[in-house]
Amino acid sequence: MPRGIYECINCGHREEFESREPVMEKACPKCGSDMVLVGFPAEEDGEVTIEEPFSPSVESRGLEEVLRKFYSLEFRGVDGNVLVYEVEEIIERNFEMVLAELEKLGYWAALKRREGKVLLFVFPAGEVGESNPWLPVLFLLATIGTTLFAGYYQAKLYIAFLNAFALPGLRDPYLIALSFSVSVMAILGTHELGHKIAAAYHGVKATVPYFIPFPNLIGTLGALIRVKSPVPTRNAAIDLGTSGPIAGFLVAIPVSIVGLKLSVAVPQSSIQPGGGGIALGGNLFFYLLGKYVSPIPDGYVLYLHPVAMAGWVGILVTFLNLIPAAQLDGGHIARAFMGERTHRYFTMVIALFLMALSFLWVGWMVWAILILLMGSAGNPGALDEVTPVSKGRILLTAVALLIFVLSATPVPFSAS
């Protein structure tokens, strides 16, 4: 891993770390203060040397003129490629506007509160490489294929069930497979499109959605977008974290309703004990639909139509993404309200809780391990951690929390 040389902004302690982040929060082993990147180790005749930092008098002269339009500040020093200022007054509260102006000069900035002071760290903007335009298309076509195949498999099982109980219903496996594929792709695609729109709104560079094909019961492992530039503010982090789950959930609602209307119920007494099969876990959302939208008579069990299966999967994906840990959507939302160290500990607590839940469903152990692995990289949070979260974003967080509760599925799968 690339290494960097860091210096404490408080006591001046210098140390080499396996990192190239401009600022490492509370990383000083001597006094616990922040450390800033001052250079990189370079091998010269077997000895490690520090690259010379750029001169602030030459490179930052035009930069300071721009900064003083937005802040009343005082220059505190330069460490490597990082300029450190103490902010006495914030003139422009819109940090995204500040960041946009700095990017024109080739810089990014981070606004942090340290020991009662507001510090502004300014550093050269990272390069954002171009993405392969064909790869998302190939993944999309492959996922359409795998979801169609999964839908066809489910359709055959559904038709066999109808025939076994002499029940009415559509028996065209190709039409059922298509309806399943469209439903799954619509939920996942809308989820990622929500992220993409939020990223574009806040000027965050991100890839287009990547669908992940996989030969399983639903034909996919989901979809994702990759964020390629820092998140500017805590409001932006909340928008990015909530936009996908809320958008996907809104599409999953009609899909689930239509799917439940197409599903068939049979008396539980008619199901042979030990007949095998998989029971899908319940959640509050499907319970409410079953109670008020598509009631199921007492003593009956429901065989889900593949479209209902797509809706259930969409609700489960929403729940998993909203787990408030690591770099999941819920993790980004939680990080907007927590410091980096607190969020790291919170992630560990969530992982331990999921390990405990593995007594109900073994898959939670896999999720716990994944969260610990993701959490080990930390969550850098927003560049601006000084500006308060707006009331609108607090409301948005409450909506995401409600969706999390509605979609919570403690035991997703069990044998029946």
Indicate whether 52 pLDDT > 60: no
Residue 44's pLDDT band, with cuts at 50, 70 and 90, is very low
Residue 232: pLDDT band with limits 50, 70, 90: very high
Residue 348 has pLDDT above 80, yes or no: yes
Report the distance separating Cα 4 and Cα 11, nearest Å: 18
Give me the amino acid identity at 253. Answer: I
Farthest CA pair distance, the chain: 85
**Of 3-17, 147-161, 235-249, the least confident:** 3-17
Structure tokens at 122: 């300014």
Q: Which two tokens stand for residue 110?
A: 């981070």
With a pLDDT cut of 70, the percent of the chain lying above it is 89
pLDDT at 210 over 80: yes
Q: Is the pLDDT of residue 148 over 90?
A: yes
Residue 237: Cβ within 10 Å count:
29
How far apart CA 223 and CA 239 sit, in angstroms, is 18
Instruction: Give the mean model confidence (pLDDT) for residues 362-388.
Output: 93
**Closest among 207, 204, 194 to 329, alpha carbons compared:** 194
pLDDT for residue 274 is more than 60: no
Q: pLDDT value at position 57?
A: 42
Contact 144, 181 (CB under 8 A): yes
* Residue where the block lists tokens 């180790």: 41
Q: Which two tokens stand for residue 246?
A: 């809320």
Domain ranges of the chain: 18-125, 135-415
Residue 22's pLDDT is 65
The tokens for 221 are 């492992």
Res 58 pLDDT > 70: no
| 53 band by pLDDT with thresholds 50, 70 and 90 | very low
Query: Is 80 exceeded by the pLDDT of residue 277?
Result: no
Is the pLDDT at 363 greater than 80? The verdict is yes
Q: What's the rounded mean pLDDT across residues 200-204?
A: 95
Sign of the Cα pseudo-torsion (326, 328, 334, 335, in order) = positive
DSSP assignment letter at 380: -
- Residue 151 in tokens: 């839908």
Lowest mean pLDDT among 36-45, 132-141, 160-169, 405-414: 36-45
pLDDT bin (cut points 50, 70, 90) of residue 364 is very high
**Is 162 within 8 Å of 145 (Cβ atoms)?**
no
Q: What confidence score (pLDDT) does residue 38 get?
A: 62
Tokens 């789950």 -> residue: 245
Of 56-60, 179-183, 411-415, give the lowest mean pLDDT range: 56-60
Q: Say yes or no to pLDDT of 51 above 50.
A: no
H or E element in which residue 39 lies: strand 35-39
Lowest mean pLDDT among 38-42, 170-174, 304-308: 38-42
Which pLDDT belongs to residue 268? 83
Above 80 in pLDDT, residue 43? no
pLDDT of residue 17: 82
Task: Name the pTM for this structure.
Answer: 0.84
Q: What is the pLDDT of residue 115?
A: 82
Residue type, 309: M
Phi and psi for 274 in degrees, rounded to 5?
75, 15
